[in-house]
Amino acid sequence: MLPAGEIGKVPAASCCPTSGDEMKNTEEKRDMNIAAFVGREQLMQGRDDDRLLLNVSAFIEKEVGNDLKSLKKLGKLIEQMTENKMKLEEQVLTISSEIPKRIQSALKDAEESQQVLNQFLEQETPLFSSITSHLLTAQPWMDDLGAMINQIEEIEQHLTYLKWVSQIEELSDNVQQYLMTNNVPEAASILMTMTELDIKLQESSCTHLLSFMRATVKFWHKILKDKLTSDFEEILAQLHWPFITHTQSQTVGISLPASAPEVYATLETLFCQLLKLQTSDELLTEPKQLPEKYSLPACPSVILPIQIMLTPLQKRFKYHFRGNRQTNVISKPEWYLAQVLMWIGNHAHFLDEKIQPILEKAGSAVNARLEFSRGLMMLILEKLASDIPCLLYDDNLFCHLVDEVLLFERELHSVHGYPSTFASCMHILSEETCFQRWLTVERKFALQKMDSMLSSEAAWVSQYKDITDVDEMKVPDCAEVFMTLLLVITDRYKNLPTAPRKLQFLELQKDLVDDFRIRLTQVMKEETRASLDFRYCAILNAVNYISTVLADWADNVFFLQLQQAALEVFAENNALSKLQLGQLASMESSVFDDMINLLERLKLDMLTRQVDHVFREVKDAAKLYKKERWLSLPSQSEQAVMSLSSSACPLLLTLRDRLLQLEQQLCFSLFRIFWQMLVEKLDVYIYQEIILANHFNEGGAAQLQFDMTRNLFPLFSHYCKRPENYFKHVKEACIILNLNTGSALLLKDVLQSSSEHLPATAALNEVGIYKLAQQDVEILLNLRTNWPNTGK
């Protein structure tokens, strides 16, 4: 805010000369600004005064109000306000006296800080000059010192290099000395140390040192390995290794001389020494590997002593199953597969009893039998990889190979405990070209099997028709064989190493189910005109059986794992909606849901056809019953014994015969659905077409109730405890028609006096009416003719 004394003062003249008009315009603008500023000040002051008046008036209104007696309070209010004013003035005086002191103190501190800063700035200039001069003087010394340090570091590197060379030569000399004194264990230990140093040096850039180290390790490794291998093979020969026959494996140890303990002790010593060479052997030897397309799991090479033990068997395998030998027949894979299984079995006891304790004593986690099996398995994998391309397009040979490989895998895993994480034949079968061919062949033979089973004379006959306990599902032979086929396919692919391959086989199974469903539908359409015949019922039983088994499979752990794998694949490819993914993830749906839904739809369609067929027959048989003269039938008191209406006999006989026929031909679950669907239609039909279409005297109502409760309902008592609960319309209509006259009149009055707000539900429930609506009851009451003559 400008001080009052400065308002109206002329500003200092600018350096540049201005014309009279420009000066005049400038002054006019300045006067306008000053006027606007003063106006704003007055306006703000006026607003403050108005706000103060409003606050004062609000305060007085609150304290005094409209009551004149409250004016007595004004004296006290004035005293309180005066006292508050004095307190505020004291606070203002106190604050106004303290603020200058604080400002003064702050100014003093600022001046002191400025003085200190000036002193530092004065000292900085000479100090900077001094440092610069010193650095210039010391620079030559720094250069000389840097050169000397570089020389020292280079000398240290040379010294370290020479130390490494000296250490390598020293270790090499030690190995030589130990070998000269025939101390092979110590020589093997030194070689192990050299190998560890070689591994440590791998990150070094000293290529010549690395080459020297590797050459030294390789030199001594070969000497030690040759010596130990020769000694180890001699010991194995004394033990009659390998055991070609099962008898030979059983007699090992019996035919040995008295020096057998010494032989086993030497075996243990040599085995442990060879174990020490394992690290250097892995470092120097490139392991045999199949092409990457087979996606074999990464695993270390077989330990050195087991490799030596496998050597004679590998030679035998290559001799018999490679080249032009008569035993190398591409159409007989079972020969070499059985040979390997026999070798594993023959040597299992020796490996467990003699070799495994040595490994445990040496602190090794290797399982001798599995390591031996793994080495032999590589022979099988190499053989399969070379044979499969030769028979890939011969369906019979390829199918035979797959069958034999699967049998081999099953025995290998179940009998010999071969882990599924190791390389196996399934990895070879999972190779893209081979796998697609496997799928094609599997589909081809499955379709051929389906053709043969459906064309068989016994296709629609149950294998267990004469065994009641077993034949609950009444499954025809074709459905049983088909589900067995699917189960066999599952067993064939369940050990595949990867989930995507399993999912492809699952899709094949689903395609086969859909194909079989279509075939069943085609056969069913041929039998539509005879929907109650044995063949039609057999098709329905087949559909129900397949749907039931698939629903059970959906809860199987194997298929739940496939469902999880499918969920991950679909999520990656965005192949399903979020709702579908959520249903799969929460297990609300299963991998077979699509197939089950189609089968259930077919089942319902077929059942509906059967129900409609029987219902038409029942309606035809009920024509006479519909025309019964319900108005003129004698009352119950006029008859000695109530008997079934003669016109109801065709209806009940037809119904009984069809129920017995279908109970024998349909499985229990299907028949239950059938009779419940039929009863639902029959209940509505009798109610609408017979009861609502006629009037009843007392005898007619009693006869209807007798026909229904004593004859119709008992037909279904074999299938449920209370069949009348399925005929709710008929049962309740009979209740209304057979109410005694007084109760009927009373109910009629209650119904007429009821309204939307006061329904007659309680009165209806009291007489046993729960299903029928109030309007329906009124209609039924009007169908009665036995009302008393009241003159109305």
- Give residue-wise pLDDT tens across range 602-660: 999 999 999 999 999 999 999 999 999 999 898 888 887 889 999 999 999 999 999 99
Residue 84 reports pLDDT greater than 60: yes
Residue 418 reports pLDDT greater than 60: yes
The pLDDT of residue 315: 94
Q: Read off the pLDDT band of 18 (50, 70, 90).
A: very low
The pLDDT of residue 3: 39
Highest mean predicted confidence (pLDDT) among 159-163, 206-210, 423-427: 423-427
d(CA 43, CA 38): 9
Residue 26 reports pLDDT greater than 60: no
The pLDDT of residue 718: 92
What is the rounded average pLDDT of the residues 163-180? 91
Q: Are 274 and 412 in contact (CB under 8 A)?
A: no
Q: Are 641 and 574 in contact (CB under 8 A)?
A: no
Residue 64 reports pLDDT greater than 90: no
Taken in order 95, 99, 100, 101, the sign of the CA dihedral is positive
- The pair of structure tokens assigned to 359 is 């490994």
d(CA 234, CA 254): 19
Nearest CA-CA partner of 719 in 769, 678, 772, 768:
678
More confident residue, 399 or 788: 399
What is the rounded average pLDDT of the residues 737-749? 92
- Taking only the tens place, the pLDDT of each residue in 487-530 is 999 999 999 999 999 999 999 999 999 999 999 999 999 988 88
- Report the predicted TM-score, pTM, of the whole model to 2 decimal places: 0.74
What is the rounded average pLDDT of the residues 360-384? 94
d(CA 623, CA 604): 28
d(CA 227, CA 188): 11
| Residue 104 burial by Cβ neighbours in a 10 Å radius (0-12, 13-18, 19+) | exposed
The pLDDT of residue 205: 85
The pLDDT of residue 508: 96
User: For the chain, what is the mean pLDDT?
Assistant: 86
More confident residue, 765 or 636: 765
What is the rounded average pLDDT of the residues 238-250? 79
d(CA 506, CA 569): 14
Q: Are 290 and 282 in contact (CB under 8 A)?
A: no
Residue 598 neighbours by CB under 8 Å, 6+ apart: 514, 517
What is the rounded average pLDDT of the residues 380-392? 93
d(CA 307, CA 274): 10
The pLDDT of residue 48: 63
